[in-house]
């Protein structure tokens, strides 16, 4: 199975990372392990997956790998971390320069780091259903590429509802205008 490119193990009862299976899948580009009761993912679990482009760990509340582990996935383009009870933005994510889709919806996030500006190729960012009250102006720097920004279900206080209703481009333009002049 060394040439296997996609593995979907969603909605099972997998409690421990399947080391023996996954470590031999060096060509794997898509791994979906969402909605499993995974206990934990260590940094060594991801090392053999350097070609991974899509990773879905949604619904695995206690399984988020340590931040440095994510940097072992330089090709990652899509990352789904819905319903993982995250209280803060995972630091290691900011190293993923190829990320095009990031789903952090249905968590307990309260802030978005300024480092979000490093996601220069991001086209979709889902932050819906969190506890975010303000957005960093740096998010506006993603304006040329970011096509979809989902913010519903957040107690945003810094942006008026009328602006939110105008959509992604209007929000990004507004944030970009809040950046200090250089």
**What pLDDT is attached to residue 112?**
94
CA-CA distance, 159 to 128, in Å (whole number)? 15
**What pLDDT is attached to residue 182?**
64
**What pLDDT is attached to residue 34?**
94
User: Global pTM?
Assistant: 0.92
* CB-based contact 142:122 (threshold 8 Å): yes
What's the DSSP call for residue 60?
-
Using DSSP's 3-state secondary structure scheme, residue 160 falls into: coil
Q: How far is CA 60 from the centre of its chain?
A: 14
Neighbours of 163 (CB within 10 A): 14
What's the DSSP call for residue 4?
-
Domains of the chain: 41-177 (3.80.10.10)
Q: What is the pLDDT along the chain (182 residues), one digit of tens a residue?
A: 778 999 999 999 888 887 777 888 889 999 999 999 887 777 777 878 889 999 999 998 766 766 667 778 889 999 999 998 889 888 778 889 899 999 999 999 999 999 999 999 999 999 999 999 999 999 999 999 999 999 999 999 888 889 999 999 999 999 999 988 76
* Residue found under tokens 């957040």: 154
CA-CA distance, 45 to 41, in Å (whole number)? 6
- Phi and psi at 54, nearest 5°, equal -130, 125
- The torsion angle over the Cα atoms of residues 109, 113, 115 and 116, rounded to 10 degrees, is 50
What's the DSSP call for residue 65?
P
């Amino acid at each position: 199975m060394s040439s296997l490119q996609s593995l979907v193990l969603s909605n099972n009862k997998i409690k421990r990372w399947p080391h023996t299976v996954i470590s031999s899948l060096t060509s794997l580009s898509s791994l979906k392990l969402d909605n499993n009761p995974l206990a934990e993912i260590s940094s060594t679990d991801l090392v053999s997956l350097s070609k991974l482009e899509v990773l879905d760990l949604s619904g695995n509340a206690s399984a988020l790998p340590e931040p440095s582990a994510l940097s072992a996935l330089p090709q990652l383009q899509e990352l789904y971390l819905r319903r993982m009870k995250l209280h803060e933005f995972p630091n290691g994510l900011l190293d993923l320069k190829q990320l095009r889709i990031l789903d952090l919806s249905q968590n307990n996030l309260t802030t978005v780091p300024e480092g979000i500006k490093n996601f220069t190729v991001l086209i979709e960012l889902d932050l819906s259903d969190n506890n975010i009250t303000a957005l960093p102006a740096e998010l506006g720097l993603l304006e040329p590429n970011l096509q979809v920004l989902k913010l519903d279900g957040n107690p945003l206080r810094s942006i008026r509802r009328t602006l939110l209703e105008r959509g992604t481009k209007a929000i990004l333009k507004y944030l970009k205008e809040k950046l200090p002049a250089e």
